[in-house]
Amino acid sequence: MKLHLLISSSRYPTPTVRTLMRDLHTVIPGSHRINRGKMSLEMLAGTASQLEVGYVMLVARWRGGPGKLEFYRVNGGVLKLLPPIVYIKGVKLQRQYEASWRKLRMRPKRLFTLKSMGEAAKISEALSKFFGSKGTVESVRNAGEGSVFLEVGEAQPHRITFHSKVKGRIVEVGPSITVRHAVWRVEKPEEG
């Protein structure tokens, strides 16, 4: 499978940040996870170019936990920050779910996006592009085995969740990210 997204972190990630990175890697087909360590953004861009991915997602820490998601386009060995920056209010990790792809020791083959309205639709559309969604669907009723569904809840605060068919039932498999707010006007951040 061709890689689409490189998942990494800000420097000095906490265990929760690393776990969220691993959980997202598990449910996003065509993703690759790399521990950043002391890598600069320029070095990360070089790694992304070598892997021939189109996008990079950084999970940044805040007060010991995941604080925000930043998305970059890889262009000629350079990272360009793209909107939105998603500020995180809270997370529910896969280990907190009864069923998850990690527990099943499987990787989904396809990711689809569930249709939403308002600001949720705007966030959903951006995440669909970054995560390599195969399209937008009205519901997960006809879900095939091996697919995962991204949903951005319309209620405030928005929740980013992942669903799949497990043993014939549609269940939330995690992780879940509660959005504090999304920033649509972005500037190049300082080295983080």
Token digits of residue 181: 């707010």
Strands 78-92 and 176-183 come out as antiparallel
Preceding peptide of 84 cis, ω within 30°: yes
CATH topology of domain 5-183: Rossmann fold (3.40.50)
The total number of residues shown for the chain amounts to 192
**Which residues does the chain have with pLDDT short of 70?**
1, 99-106, 142-143, 188-192
Token digits of residue 140: 């997960």
The pLDDT score that the predictor gives to residue 192 is 44
pTM as predicted: 0.90
